[in-house]
Amino acid sequence: GHFQSTMADTAVEEEVKAEAAAAPSAETTAAAPEVEPKVETAAAESSGAMFVPGAPSDKQGQAPQTEEEKEAAIRKQVEYYFSDTNFRKDKFLQIETAKSDEQWINISVLNTFNRMKILVPSLKPEPIASALKSSEVVEISECGTKIRRHKSLWGTKPVELGGKSYSSRNEVISRVQPLLKTAGTLSDDDASFVKDLLKHHATAAAKEGPGIAAIKVGSNPKFPDTKCFVLVRVDGTEEDFSYLKCVANIFPDLESSRVSTRKRKADAAADEPNAKRGPAAGSSGDGDTESAGFKKGTIVLVRDLPEDQTVASMKSAFGVAGLVRYVEMVPDQPLAYVRYETAEHAQKALEIGGMGTLSILDGDDEKEYWDKIDSTRDCKGRGGGRGGGRGRG
């Protein structure tokens, strides 16, 4: 029989995948009855057209008619899901594969995707396993019910940005950070780098709009303390974007994907119970409440903090410079504060790479921070408990 796409566009498919992650059993159960596939197949037989496997939804092609054509369509669509082009920005598949060290996922997960429901109406794993047995992109388990990216693709591949090759997220971030200090518009070479970086944003086309006339450095109104790239469009409008999201798509951190956002927050709370409630809203568990008050030059301000960081990971990264007494991560902002035992340790921390833009907190900002620490400590001493200082979070 022939097939017909039910997808309005690629975004719809991504929503389905996200829903599958939230409630996979419900999605699979809803897809199991054969009534829906039969209706789709019957409709396709009358039209003879369907989506092109592995291509954007606006491209239409002829529905496969022979078993060989159907098998080729399945292989092409599944290989697209696990290709570098899609996998690097597909958070759902990254999370699913990261659930096991061997990165296997059940083939039944793929059958929750709209296109796969059309290509495999039976929702059985056998047609997919058969179609991909000789694939160089994915591997099928011996039992024939699981699938994963071929091991040769597990490592990250270099990416070319602005005519130069980059092999890691730290290399890209190191290239970006000096640019964020630029006054005025970026040079042609720097703009070329940023434009190539933008291509890896999930909504690159929408960000670019009618076209880019120039690129400058500015701030998102929601995060005035952090710098970002601002696209000046040909029609005079401006649009900023997160370069960290682009970096995450180029070099996905599968290890951090093993933990859901909720669990990461729980882990951070367990490690630092009050880290999100503001400066020193409680003991960090390492003797912080016994410190002797104001210590000038001991707090490092972290701007443009890379995504997927936790209190634990930051303590580990910044611990190379000396004893970290406290870490505060500001909710929903790429901003954090790292407090050291001594000013010497804090100064040494400024040499740490790949953790954003680092500086020593000083002046009125430093005094205000310590005032809030003391205020919170006083409230705890009076039995104020969690009702202490408001903090920054």
User: Tens digit of pLDDT for each residue in 337-387?
Assistant: 999 999 999 999 998 888 888 999 988 888 888 877 766 554 444 444 333
CA 108 – CA 29 distance, rounded (Å):
11
Terminal CA-CA length for the chain: 58
CA 389 – CA 131 distance, rounded (Å):
61
- The pLDDT, as a whole number, for residue 89 is 78
Strands, E, within 128-252: which ranges? Answer: 138-140, 146-149, 159-161, 164-166, 212-218, 228-233, 238-241
Give me the mean pLDDT over the 210-233 stretch.
89
Mean pLDDT is lowest, of 32-36, 60-64, 133-137, 252-256, for 32-36
- The pLDDT, as a whole number, for residue 375 is 62
Does 64 have pLDDT greater than 50? yes
- The pLDDT, as a whole number, for residue 252 is 67
Whether 348 contacts 338, CB under 8 Å: no
The whole model's pTM is what? 0.38
Give me the mean pLDDT over the 295-324 stretch.
86
Task: List the domains of the chain with CATH numbers.
Answer: 67-153 (1.10.10.10), 159-250 (3.10.450.40), 299-377 (3.30.70.330)
Mean pLDDT is lowest, of 101-105, 190-194, 252-256, 288-292, for 288-292
- The pLDDT, as a whole number, for residue 360 is 93
- The pLDDT, as a whole number, for residue 229 is 94
CA 59 – CA 381 distance, rounded (Å):
67
Give me the mean pLDDT over the 262-267 stretch.
43
Give me the mean pLDDT over the 17-39 stretch.
38
Position with higher pLDDT, 50 vs 267: 50
Q: What is the pLDDT of residues 175-205, one digit of tens each?
A: 998 999 888 899 999 999 999 999 988 889 9
Do the strands 138-140 and 146-149 form a parallel or antiparallel pair, or are they unpaired? Answer: antiparallel
Give me the mean pLDDT over the 43-64 stretch.
66
